[in-house]
Chain A
Amino acid sequence: MARFDRRSFLKLSGSGALAATGGMAGILASGRAPAYAQATSLHWLRWADFVPASDQLLKGEIVAECEKALGMKLTIETINANDIQARITSSVQSGSGPDIVCALNNWAQLYGESLADVTDVAEELGKAQGGFYETSKVVANDGKRWIAVPWSIVGLQIAYRKSWFEEVGYSGGKFPETWEALREAGKKLKAMGRPVGQTLGHTFGDAPAFTYPYLWSWGAKEVDADGKSVLLNSKETLESVKFMVGFWKDALDEGGLAWDDSSNNRAFLSGTCCATNNGASIYIEALRKPDAYQTEKGTPLKGDILHAPLPKGPGGQFSFHVPFSNMLMGYSKNQKGAKEFLRWISSKPVFDRWFTTQKGFSVGPTTDWEKHKLWNDDPIMLPYRSAARTGRFAGYAGPSGRKAAEVLTKYILTDMYAKAVQGMPPEDAVKWAHGELIKIYGA
């Protein structure tokens, strides 16, 4: 009887398998996954959208269509926006993770070295759809190349209670046009227990979307156009901080120092604040549940909401809208497929469907989307339509590069105002922020 032990069996079967398919050994020797598994799967990490219907569309129909149109198995993962940066960091450091990651604000500038060049995709998109907004461009282009493909801009406007402002003299749905006027109106409203709501906390959206344009509206800026000399410690900045201290006490909800990005939505919807700078999510939510959200008179709240831009200051009127872009990660093994996907998802017919589910919460990255028919549906949403045109972005008057992103993610401007309203002398708060900026820009 021939001896047939375990060892010789393993040898035999191993060589047999190798002969048949190339085998595991072949895959291991080449050091990469087999080609078919590489090309057909794509992992897209996104934020959990404030408009849940959009995520439903992406994860359902779009995934199915992607497989049909591109032959790619698309996996869409949605997480809390605040957790995206932790995922980017671990993915970049370990060299593996999602192929495409959605970035908010100018996050892409922080990771420039680790991102693939998507100039071809972005240029095509801009040309085909009427040109990008300035905001879309400055956050996704590092001055030499495109490091992300612009996806959308969440427009921010002040949502306010029409009837309450009528009570303090703004008839016909008008809203105060200057900071002074808003302070006066807000003072009266706060006395009635209806303050203006604004966060000065560490939030990715609502805090910078107020503090940056507020600073600009006083004629102040972070740095010079060269992107080097810090100009924050100026007469204009100091004026803005001084005004903020009084404004806060007179007109704003003092709990705002601890608000996150959803606190003002809850406060407004529950009728405890008269106005707040926000995406359209408050109005959209009120539309969705007219019975749940009602005014003190028992009518649906949606009928008492209007939108207006942030007021003017001595230096002009500005806005800051939260841009989203898609970064193709440098480590992705599926560069070609990922670009193909970005072209497809940004193409008009596909993007249109996502855009429609947003109901105006997001505007497109390009001006063409202002012509979309959804803007004809509801006049209340109209202020969002072209809001992105007046947007400036962090780092003004310099480029919105990596250093500007550092200032933004360290919440320095927001903290400058927060410190002052907490009692630090305005001069010291400005000096502190100026010093922090020098540490970043001066180095």
Chain B
Amino acid sequence: MAISYAVRERAYAGVPRRGPVTRLLEDERWLGALLLLPTAFLLALFIAYPFVKGVLLSVTDARVGVPGTFVGLQNFIALAHDSIFREATFLYTAVTTVFKLALGLWLALLLNRHFPGKALTRAFVLLPFIIPTVLSTFAWKWMFDPTFSVINWTLYKLAIIDSRINWLGDPQLAMISIIIVNVWRGVPFYAISLLAGLQTISPELQEAAAIDGARPWQRFWHVTWPLLLPVTMVVVLFSVIQTFADFQLVYVLTGGGPANATHLFATYAYQIGVGTGLLSEGAAVSLAMFPALLVVVIVQLLYIRRVEIH
């Protein structure tokens, strides 16, 4: 009895003494929380703080250099009666998303085939996405220039048109112009992401379907598309959020004009908040994006979860 006791005590003495902090950290719950802290701190600083600040601003009448007082929902009520504040953003997002998805998917399917120079082509496809947006948009601005448009010049020389097309000066054409540029810029993102998705689909499934007599369209619709759907949903989700909050492209191309026909939430918020100095109203415009985006995010995330479970 005595011996075994002595032995046990010696064994215990060999283990280093642990302080209260060490013991706490050996508990996974505490360690997990601790390891999350840096991320939580960064999120709070760069996401939560600006968001809360935006909400607080939007319920005051703050201007640049003037903190303002609480006015409740007055800014939002004013927005509801604002003629400039219309569906432009929704139209822009919806149309570009459809085109980007269709063209991106088509491009991805083409790139997924084997052909000489495949790697090089894939790299080139990414170019519109790699060039800084402001830079490429300036190039587009020149192509749409009212006086010096190279597009008009070409169409004119080919005798397709006999007067200039007023790309950025006509409200509908201006909208179409910014949609074209957005689609041009966004397709590579879709194509490359969907291509990555396509490559995870085992070729054996396609072969099996082919052996069973499925035509190319049937193979796409019944094999490829269902397997690609989760990736597609994530890509669309990211793209919708980015397009909805788009700023640079419109700011450079039209500045929201002509006569506010192409103002998106972000450019309008900038004009009100920074141009006119009405910070509170600008914040309210930005926040008006939030409910719409929240719905999109929730619906899509729920869908992705459902797909994953099945």
Tell whether, in the assembled complex, residue A432 and residue B274 are in contact, meaning their CB atoms are under 8 Å apart. no
B168: chain A residues within 8 A (beta carbon): 257-258
Q: Do the beta carbons of A114 and B65 come within 8 Å of each other? A: yes
Interface residues on A, range: 35 or more
A255 to B254, CA, bound (A): 12
Interface members, chain A 47-94 (any B CB < 8 Å): 85-86, 88-89, 92-93
Interchain CB contact (< 8 A) of A418 among B65, B147, B257: B257
B71 to chain A, nearest CB (A): 11
Assess whether A270 is interfacial by the CB under 8 Å rule: yes
User: Judging by beta carbons under 8 Å apart, are A257 and B169 in contact?
Assistant: yes
Shortest C-beta distance, A199 to chain B (Å), equals 9
Contacts A202-B257, A422-B259 known; A255 to B64 CB distance under 8 Å? no
Least Cβ distance of A266 to chain B in Å?
Answer: 7
Cβ A258 vs Cβ B169 within 8 A: yes
The verdict on A3 contacting chain B, using a C-beta distance below 8 Å, is no
A202 lies within 8 A of B255 (CB):
yes
Q: Which residues 229-260 of A sit at the B interface, judged by CB distance below 8 A? A: 253-260
A178 within 8 A of B: no
Question: Taking CB as reference atom, which chain B residue is nearest A330?
Answer: B65
Considering only CB atoms, which chain B residue lies closest to A406 in the complex? B276
> Chain A 411-432, CB within 8 Å of chain B: the 1/0 string?
0000100110010000000001
Asked, given contacts A113-B65, A202-B257, whether A257 binds B166 with beta carbons under 8 Å apart, the answer is yes
Specify which of A258, A266, A409, A410 is in contact with B258 (CB 8 Å cutoff): A258
Chain A residues near B169 (CB, 8 Å)?
254-258
For the complex, is A375 an interface residue (Cβ under 8 Å from B)? no
Contact A258 B256 (CB under 8 A): no
Bound complex: CA of A86 vs CA of B275, how far in Å? Answer: 7
Instruction: State whether A258 touches B257 (Cβ < 8 A).
Output: yes
The distance in angstroms between the C-alpha atoms of A304 and B14, with both chains bound, is: 101
In Å, the complex CA distance between A202 and B146 comes to: 15
Say yes or no: A86 contacts B259, CB within 8 Å.
no
Nearest-neighbour CB distance to chain B for A119, whole angstroms, equals 19
**Which A residues touch B164, using CB under 8 A?**
254-255
Q: A410 to B78: give the CA distance in the assembly, Å.
A: 16
Are A272 and B276 within 8 A (Cβ)? no
User: From B61, which residue of chain A is reached at the shortest CB distance?
Assistant: A443
Most chain A C-beta atoms within 10 Å of own C-beta, residue among B166, B167, B257, B278: B257
Q: Which residues of A contact B166 (CB under 8 A)?
A: 254-255, 257-258
B271 beta carbon closer than 8 Å to chain A = yes
CB pair A201–B255 under 8 Å, yes or no, is yes
In the complex, whether B4 has a CB less than 8 A from a CB of chain A is no
Name the contact of B259 in the complex, choosing from A110, A114, A415 (C-beta under 8 A). A415
Least distance between A252 CB and chain B CB atoms (Å): 11
Contact check, A422 vs B65: say whether CB atoms are below 8 A apart. Answer: no
Query: Mask for B161-200, Cβ within 8 A of A = 1, else 0?
Result: 0001011111100100000000000000000000000000
CB of B69 within 8 Å of the partner chain: no
Q: Which residues of A contact B257 (CB under 8 A)?
A: 201-202, 257-258, 418
Q: Which residues on B sit within 8 Å (CB–CB) of A260? A: 255
Interface residues of A (CB under 8 A from B): 85-86, 88-89, 92-93, 110-111, 113-114, 200-202, 253-260, 263, 266-267, 270, 272, 330, 405-406, 409-410, 415, 418-419, 422, 432, 435, 439
Interface residues of B (CB under 8 A from A): 63-66, 78, 83, 144-148, 164, 166-171, 174, 254-261, 271-279
Question: Can you name 28 A-B pairs with beta carbons within 8 Å?
Answer: A85-B274, A85-B277, A86-B274, A89-B64, A89-B279, A92-B64, A93-B65, A111-B64, A202-B255, A202-B256, A202-B257, A253-B147, A254-B166, A254-B169, A255-B146, A255-B166, A257-B166, A257-B169, A257-B170, A258-B146, A258-B168, A258-B258, A267-B147, A409-B275, A410-B276, A415-B259, A422-B259, A439-B78
Shortest 10 CB-CB contacts between residues of A and residues of B: A255-B146, A114-B65, A257-B169, A258-B168, A418-B259, A258-B169, A257-B258, A110-B277, A415-B259, A92-B65
